[in-house]
Structure 1
């Protein structure tokens, strides 16, 4: 029984939401190239079915994105795992900024691995739901803000790592400015249908950009809602 299941009975799941379903998902992720055992162990323990609508709970451990309302989605588990793996590959960051809280699932994965997560969401209803889940699951190392994610969280910068869960045409300069020296930023970039997952790190002659493959994300929008 996982720690979450011990404290939150609904986290245990049943049938298509059971621990066995989570184990099968982790097996698929490992077969598809996710190698970091820390990431796989978190996904094994985290009750993804609580981060989606109850009507979709039986699909929570499929390796697919699912709608969460407000025109947003919970990312495909493989993408969550790949982004997390890329973010921590060169060492576990202490303080991570997440742009786009969404369902709260990616944030919860990070919170199980790092000291502190700062997460920004522009849609207030989604942020309320995520905060409720964080409290329910006893996730206490997350600070959240209802704001335009393109602005980041400048008053608590710099961050050891930044993860962006929506795609802009380019990486926002405001976010790069909030990255600590030798920090890592992972973000999808590009228009719908032609998005690339980028990892950006500071090098001797400026930013070093590395393509991690094709992805599909909702667009990174400004303002608040």
Structure 2
């Protein structure tokens, strides 16, 4: 299942000019960072290591400028943004869901810098209120040095779980995890704590819970309590 997608059109590496345009975009960002924000962050984390060290401070500066809503003067890092995609090659990046698992598919044909700039340009297409929520995710992604996988997703999302349902609707997932009716009024902190303790007893191996699943279940319950708390 396609969760997010970004198509970046760019000059071929052998061409002397450096141009970028955006193609097809599926970037849901609500609730933030959303699957779109995770994909944009992953593109930066995947490709920033391949960017010349001299340009990296400018990448961070550009990300910060995007959050202000001010127009940034062209060209950016020697690349010019345009609407026309004629004559440009393209790279396509996707976030894919499979059951409860999510993974990235990077089909890169251009330079690393073109991919990073394409992700930043895509943030500019978002409404300002969303932009301000996504920019911190991009800055976190730019500092990431680990593998592009579940640990990075949790880091970018600020979550202890990376299940599809939890990332798509954190509050709804947390309500269901703790046994509250989906769509009901948000429970009080006292009720959340009571439900958390009851569910923890249910899943703990000492009380008959399956030992092989206990660690994940307890981690998910703790994350559900954090979300509702």
Q: What is the TM-score normalised by the length of structure 1?
A: 0.23
Q: RCO greater where, 1 or 2, for CA within 8 Å and sep 6 or more?
A: 2
By percentage of residues, which structure has more strand?
Answer: 1
Structure (1 or 2) with the larger CA radius of gyration: 2
By percentage of residues, which structure has more helix?
Answer: 2
